[in-house]
Structure 1
Amino acid sequence: MHPYQDPTRPVAERVEDLLSRMTLEEKAGQLFHSMLMMNPDGTPVTETDGSMLPFTTPELIEGRGLTHFNLLGTHGAREMALWHNAIQEMAAATRLGIPVSLSTDPRHAFTDNIGASFNSGAFSAWPEALGLAAVRDPELVFRFADTVRREYLSVGFRTALHPQIDLATEPRWSRQSGTFGSDAALTGELVRAYVLGLQGEELGPDSVAAMVKHFPGGGPQKDGEDPHFAHGKEQVYPGGLRDLHLEPFKAAIAAGCSQMMPYYGQPVGTDWEEVGFGFNRGVIQGLLREELGFTGIVCTDWGLLNDSEIFGEPHGARAWGVEHLSVAERAAKALDAGADQFGGEECPEVIVELVRSGRVAESRVDASVRRLLHEKFVLGLFDERRYVDPDEAAETVGRADFAALGAAAQRRSLTVLTAGPLPVGNRPKLYVENVDPVTAAAYGEVVATPAEADLAVLRLRTPYEERPNKFESFFHSGSLAFPEPELTRILALLDTTPTLVCVNLERPAVLPEIAEHAAALIADYGASDEALLDVAFGRAKPEGRLPFELPRSMAAVEASRPDVPNDTADPVFPYGHGLEL
């Protein structure tokens, strides 16, 4: 037994022993946090056509020495556990047997975006983070994060690529559903509870490491466009509130978050260098490391170095401000900025060449590898936590008490904007759209036309503009107003039959006409039909308050300042609005 394999030795000693035994190539492999897919039966992917991922699992683990992976797709719990154990066995058979660290985007809500999150599938279903913010209860957020921790541990996820604690200050920005809304103080309270729920008081074998994102706050995107794409790369601060966006990250650091992800955005018009945050030494080394005192792992957002294909369509590297640099020069700049790891990349040969050419010192690589190995040891991955029990995973994921907690949170998060006839009594004749009629039949007699109904129930989603690029179509951007002829059709229904409208707020919808004509208006942030109808019929108590304001017009949105919370003129509903029933 080598010292690094001895669980009785101090972690620091084990790290130094292992580091001393690693080749440069093995060290370089640690600096990449790539993506994997799995077969439906829980076996690793050993063949690929390159349309989604360029390498097979054995090529990455055995051939390139990678040991950090983000799992794509929604799968069964037992199958995920079997797959996790299979790739751990693959890693154990390598020269040094360094275990795999498995991460995931959020998996406990209703959004499904391959670039940001997955729907709950087998896991317990909760409202999006916006819905947790609407309840304003740190204890609820702690219970949520603790449930996530237990379900993740059972299948082998040891790093959560969340929480996302950007402030939702630009109403058009597509990533707001994963945030805690527009208030910095509330976000700080909730992120403390979130980190403690995932990690505990300190990181250990029963923890899931929290990779907090997107430093230094991704909300102030110019025109609300997403910086996954070149037309959305600029981040601006016309209101001068750059420091406000840092407040939640200070709270996360104080709570002990173990990892941090800088955003794609390129700051414009500030004293920071106008390069993406993952390349920005003033932001990572200067602000995050030196000023704020963060000592954990810094992992870049995905795909900063190499051009790629997604769904068969070409996508350039998100190398904003350094597009002119080579892949090696970009990697060197990110390392110089203070990044430890490259998300969504798998090119360790680039690091090897940078060291051998003298452009990057091996001691600089060692500093990052030391942090990465330290976390693996602390999480117990070299010891008792290397493998998971598939039977226990099947029993734990989606467990009845976890599901009940999530269902209760859905009901609490619903936000009553106008109450009208709520709560509904008796068993009315119901006309429903975008609601399961079988579910609705438990609350009233479902009829075929609005004219027959005593009450209509209509579920809507916040509007967005279709984009031609398939990957970008997952990121709902652009106008927040209901377009014609959809708005006319909706208003015709509202004027025909008293209608309860429920709008899913993944972004702040512009809905003044709907608010005026609806008999009652409710906002949801991810909730089942049962949750909505339980609230409407007085069987559950809604507690939600708007986590951002709802603008009156797109003109008001366009005139607002992207870095300033709740900055639109004369909103239909202000921040914090919500009625009791």
Structure 2
Amino acid sequence: MFRKLLAIAALVTGLQANAQVAQEVKMNQFITTLMQKMTLEEKIGQLNLPSVGFDVTGPLLSQGVEEKIKKGLVGGVFNTYTPVAVRKLQDMAVKETRLKIPLLFGYDVIHGHRTIFPISLGLAATWDPALVERTARAAADEATADGLNWAFSPMVDIARDPRWGRVSEGAGEDPWLGAQMAKAMVRGYQGTDLSKDNTLLACVKHFALYGAAEAGRDYNTVDMSRLKMYNEYLPPYKAAVEAGVATVMTAFNEIEGVPATGNKWLLTDLLRKQWGFKGMIVTDYTAINEMMAHGMGDAKKVGELSLNAGVDMDMVGEIFLQHGIGLVKSGKVPQSIVDAACRRVLEAKYKLGLFDDPYRYVNETRNSTQIMSAEKLLLSKEAAIKSMVLLKNANQVLPLNAAKKIAFIGPLVKDQRNLIGSWSGAGDWKKAISIWSALEQKFGAGKFLYAKGANLVDDPALRKRLNDHDGQIASDEKTPDQLIAEAVQTAQQADVVVAVLGEAFGMSGEAASRSMIGLLDNQLELLKALKKTGKPIVLVIMNGRPLTLSWEDQNMDAILETWFAGTQAGPAITEVLFGEANPSGKLTMTFPRNVGQVPIYYNAKNTGRPFDENQKYTTKYLDVPNTPLYPFGFGLSYTSFGYSDIKLSKSSITAADKLQVTVTVSNTGNYDGEETVQLYIRDMVGSITRPVKELRRFQKIALKKGESKEVSFTLTVEDLKFYNKDLKWVSEPGDFRVFVGTNSQEVKEAALTLK
């Protein structure tokens, strides 16, 4: 019977492979026939991605796009959505052009489209790739119902510097976790069949190394060894490619002295030849033009560099449109390069089914049923709850008791504008539910005390800078001192104070780097005044990056990290605060004690003089410990968990063996809860230096009060491999350590030998 099942499975696999080959042959024949009819100008037109629509993410908006569409000089459009707007432009492409080639429609669908989920850093804090995949699937449902067929997501840049605003868009500092999240997002967006009307092209970005921008400043230089690239920064991009991502976006930064957009080693040698990527490469916004400011030459030169490097589509800059024909005729760019780029653009359209039905993603019925549907709103709340990280909970001040008198204080208690965070795309902040609205819906009006306490931003210069980009931050009629006095008076009437503070949404995200990453001074002054009342204080923070919270950690009774939690932020935060949901999020990015520790990350390497408090000449600061405030993987619960010692199935293994790592986890507290059990390894001796810990597995488990579960992980030699000095993927015999625990610092340990 078993052999018969194997034979049937093999037959099915063979039939699927044959069908795939047949489909590839059919696609190639179709595109070859089409390209034989195309002029060089029309081929170059397919490489043009102008911006038309509702918002601009860069320094210019494309001009005269409609006329270019009609001339066949546009391959896709960026920033246009809704069935009405998309139909209008698609009509031009398929009814008024010579060859009737349909357009692609792309947009920044980052953490939701209309229904907004927590920011990506918050989603990663769920440690739940299946949940993250569901959010991407929901976003794809909405985006495709809104006329889109291409999402510029996921962003998978490894980030170890919280000053960089775009940490909010990624999964944090760890390459293995980042790879799992990258694969989940790609699967969610693309599904198993791109020709379905509810799947779209995913776009992994920013290729590559963008998260290592010097000084944490956006668009800045990146410089690192290839060893560091291969072992620490490239894995999430590679994982996305292996998951079948359809498109890749180039980064703004340079790599080994050459901007990524013109870097042939990166785009052709590594991405296409080494990794086997066969999809389409698009630039970031005007990235080709910006190579001139990098010092790479004039417009013709940077166009030549980017085409020869392997770029297929020019986002907004129109360098290819202006200079492509001349570059081919002069011999600077072989026509075969343009042909290959054009073919990849046409292949993407073919796989989406646009040649069969250019209006596949223009469906008013789907639009009316999919956008912000009830199940998507429930998913938004679920994701928000699971993203929240309990950073402190002294004396079990949380969960709150609704029978007590509670004061909610802070500029974000009633706020809607900031809840959906940066890169919220087509999300409508007016549909986000504030904490105060959620409280009133749940408990009725007048149940709790309220005071604003402070402006979100007092500094006029910062407020203006944020408001210039739709920050909508108002300054209260009352003075800062009056606001604080009112808050103190309100707090004195309460049993418990909940202070809701943090960043404005525009203080993180693109072009939102910060040199100081604590709460703003006016918010800190409010907390200091509230502290003097002697009341227990719960600090609820909304933010897009790790913050420096040393004073807060010492002086607040509880701290709940909620990120920017999305459309359902208010109900989610309310359920967590009052114990209907038990927080289970874990940090995927280290929180420093102060900005002077940056960059700080768990998977660092030892020095030749490791930390020793009793020796002067060892690696340390004079004014602060080496350790972070909150480490990678950290997150508390309303309950507590105990870990047994680690059991290994073998103390030594060969390359052919599988190792079972087992630990028993017990819920030792008073609430049901979820725990993310984390497994790390360390290679004790290597031909190159190795990190002190590396994440290799995790499991999220649910435990009833008093329940215990055995958690088992399977490791193979692949988990012990790394890129050596020759950039070969190898394992090396020798001693290892295996760690299992609740975060990267609190772990049990066992010894392992690879023979």
TM-score (norm: length of structure 1): 0.83
Q: Which moved more, 1:250-259 or 1:379-388?
A: 379-388
Mark the CA change 1:31 to 1:447 in structure 2 (over 3 Å): closer, same or farther. Answer: closer
Alignment pair present for 1:218 and 2:210: yes
How far apart, in 2, do the equivalents of 1:415 and 1:539 lie? 15
CA shift, 1:125, in A, is 2.1
C-alpha deviations, 1:215-258, integer Å up to 9, x for none? 2232111110000xxxx2x1133896222111111211111111
Q: Where does 1:117-516 land on structure 2 (aligned, <5 Å)?
A: 123-206=114-197, 207-227=199-219, 232=220, 234-237=221-224, 241-243=228-230, 244-267=232-255, 272=256, 274-306=257-289, 317-319=290-292, 321=294, 323-347=295-319, 348-384=321-357, 386-387=359-360, 388-420=362-394, 421-427=397-403, 428-433=405-410, 434-436=412-414, 437-441=436-440, 442-443=442-443, 444-448=447-451, 449-462=490-503, 474-496=511-533, 497-516=535-554
Instruction: Find the residue that maps to 1:329 and give its secondary structure.
Output: helix
How far apart, in 1, do the equivalents of 2:406 and 2:502 lie? 24
Name the structure 1 match of 2:702.
Answer: none
The code of the aligned residue for 1:71 comes to N
C-alpha deviations, 1:501-547, integer Å up to 9, x for none? 12224111011101211121011222212211210001223221011
Name the structure 1 match of 2:105.
Answer: 102
8 A contact 1:259–1:298 mirrored in 2: yes
CA shift, 1:462, in A, is 4.6
8 A contact 1:465–1:477 mirrored in 2: no
The code of the aligned residue for 1:236 comes to D
Mark the CA change 1:392 to 1:217 in structure 2 (over 3 Å): closer, same or farther. Answer: same
How far apart, in 2, do the equivalents of 1:170 and 1:463 lie? 19
C-alpha deviations, 1:92-112, integer Å up to 9, x for none? 121111111001112545xxx
Q: Which moved more, 1:127-136 or 1:382-391?
A: 382-391
Q: Which moved more, 1:11-20 or 1:190-199?
A: 190-199
Equivalent of 1:538 in 546, 562, 579:
579
Mark the CA change 1:36 to 1:14 in structure 2 (over 3 Å): closer, same or farther. Answer: same
8 A contact 2:153–2:204 mirrored in 1: yes
CA shift, 1:555, in A, is 1.4
C-alpha deviations, 1:8-36, integer Å up to 9, x for none? 99211110111111111111111122211
Mark the CA change 1:54 to 1:257 in structure 2 (over 3 Å): closer, same or farther. Answer: closer
8 A contact 2:183–2:239 mirrored in 1: yes
How far apart, in 2, do the equivalents of 1:414 and 1:194 lie? 20
Name the structure 1 match of 2:61.
Answer: 53
How far apart, in 1, do the equivalents of 2:370 and 2:291 lie? 38
Equivalent of 2:558 in 520, 528, 533:
520
Mark the CA change 1:482 to 1:240 in structure 2 (over 3 Å): closer, same or farther. Answer: farther
How far apart, in 2, do the equivalents of 1:209 and 1:260 lie? 10
Instruction: Find the residue that maps to 1:124 and give its secondary structure.
Output: coil
CA shift, 1:170, in A, is 1.8
C-alpha deviations, 1:61-118, integer Å up to 9, x for none? 124611211116xxxxxx8111111111111121111111001112545xxxxxxxxx
How far apart, in 2, do the equivalents of 1:565 and 1:174 lie? 25
How far apart, in 1, do the equivalents of 2:522 and 2:370 lie? 47
8 A contact 1:423–1:535 mirrored in 2: yes
8 A contact 2:589–2:601 mirrored in 1: no
Equivalent of 1:573 in 602, 613, 630:
630
Name the structure 2 match of 1:116.
Answer: none
Mark the CA change 1:337 to 1:380 in structure 2 (over 3 Å): closer, same or farther. Answer: same
How far apart, in 2, do the equivalents of 1:216 and 1:304 lie? 13
CA shift, 1:447, in A, is 4.0
8 A contact 2:407–2:448 mirrored in 1: yes
Alignment pair present for 1:26 and 2:26: no
Equivalent of 2:51 in 32, 35, 39:
35
Mark the CA change 1:134 to 1:284 in structure 2 (over 3 Å): closer, same or farther. Answer: same
8 A contact 1:169–1:220 mirrored in 2: yes
Instruction: Find the residue that maps to 2:560 and give its secondary structure.
Output: strand
Instruction: Find the residue that maps to 1:550 and give its secondary structure.
Output: coil
How far apart, in 2, do the equivalents of 1:132 and 1:465 lie? 19
The code of the aligned residue for 1:488 comes to E
8 A contact 1:67–1:91 mirrored in 2: no
CA shift, 1:576, in A, is 0.9
Instruction: Find the residue that maps to 2:211 and give its secondary structure.
Output: coil
8 A contact 1:415–1:579 mirrored in 2: yes
Unaligned runs of 5+ in 2: 1-22, 415-435, 452-489, 607-619, 639-755
Q: Which moved more, 1:297-306 or 1:434-443?
A: 434-443
The code of the aligned residue for 1:59 comes to E
CA shift, 1:478, in A, is 2.2
CA shift, 1:464, in A, is 11
8 A contact 1:38–1:83 mirrored in 2: no
Q: Which has the larger radius of gyration?
A: 2
The code of the aligned residue for 1:413 comes to S
CA RMSD of aligned residues (A): 2.9
Q: Percent of pairs identical after alignment?
A: 29
Mark the CA change 1:331 to 1:149 in structure 2 (over 3 Å): closer, same or farther. Answer: same
8 A contact 2:46–2:345 mirrored in 1: yes
* Greater strand share, structure number: 2
CA shift, 1:151, in A, is 1.2
The code of the aligned residue for 2:239 comes to A
- Alignment coverage as a number of residue pairs: 522
Mark the CA change 1:452 to 1:398 in structure 2 (over 3 Å): closer, same or farther. Answer: same
CA shift, 1:486, in A, is 4.0
8 A contact 1:149–1:198 mirrored in 2: yes
Mark the CA change 1:222 to 1:563 in structure 2 (over 3 Å): closer, same or farther. Answer: farther
Mark the CA change 1:331 to 1:51 in structure 2 (over 3 Å): closer, same or farther. Answer: closer
Which structure exhibits the higher relative contact order, with contacts defined as CA atoms closer than 8 Å and separated by 6 or more residues?
A: 1
How far apart, in 1, do the equivalents of 2:167 and 2:519 lie? 19
How far apart, in 2, do the equivalents of 1:513 and 1:412 lie? 26
CA shift, 1:320, in A, is 5.7
8 A contact 2:408–2:500 mirrored in 1: no
TM-score (norm: length of structure 2): 0.65
Name the structure 1 match of 2:690.
Answer: none
CA shift, 1:210, in A, is 0.9
The code of the aligned residue for 1:340 comes to D
How far apart, in 2, do the equivalents of 1:452 and 1:245 lie? 52
Equivalent of 2:86 in 84, 87, 93:
84
CA shift, 1:276, in A, is 0.9
The code of the aligned residue for 1:440 comes to L
